[in-house]
Amino acid sequence: MEPLFAVLVGLFFAAAIYLMLSKFSIRIMLGIAILGNAVNLLIFTAGRLTRDVPPIIPANLDALPAGTANPLPQALILTAIVISFSLLAFLLVLTYRAYQDLKTDNTDEMRVAEPVERPLPPLGY
């Protein structure tokens, strides 16, 4: 099961990077959302995928039995979900406000601080 999740994490990271390199702010936001899900899946996979023994310490033991899932990555993922949702909500409001003011979601056209008559900086080398 872990190799399947490793391939899925790789596909999520590839799609996220592709979307974040776009010049449209909506695609950048979708890339950030997919990147957050890829990181969560990576942490979840690193904590061992097993449903046989729950990550609860029995009354007669001091530590988790062998073969149980690690509960720490699961707790980290719950925290990361809340943080990524709040970041996505903030970016959504910021993007919407920029769209209202500038009437575009193209980041190349959002250069209102730069004078129009000056040439653009070099875009390639």
The enclosing domain of 82 has a CATH number of: 1.10.287.3510
Quick one: which of 7, 33, 6, 10 has its CA closest to 20? 33
Tell whether 11 is covered by a domain: yes
Tell whether 17 is covered by a domain: yes
Q: Taking the model in full, what pTM does it have?
A: 0.77
pLDDT digits (tens, 9 = 90+) for 58-92: 788 887 777 777 778 888 899 999 999 999 999 99
Question: Is the Cα dihedral 119, 114, 125, 21 positive or negative?
Answer: negative
Question: Is the Cα dihedral 35, 36, 39, 40 positive or negative?
Answer: negative
Tell whether 19 is covered by a domain: yes
Structural domains of the chain, count: 1
Q: Are 39 and 12 in contact (CB under 8 A)?
A: no
What is d(CA 32, CA 30) in angstroms, rounded to the nearest whole number?
5
Q: What single-letter DSSP state applies at residue 47? A: T
Tell whether 120 is covered by a domain: no
Domain extent at residue 91:
2-53+67-110
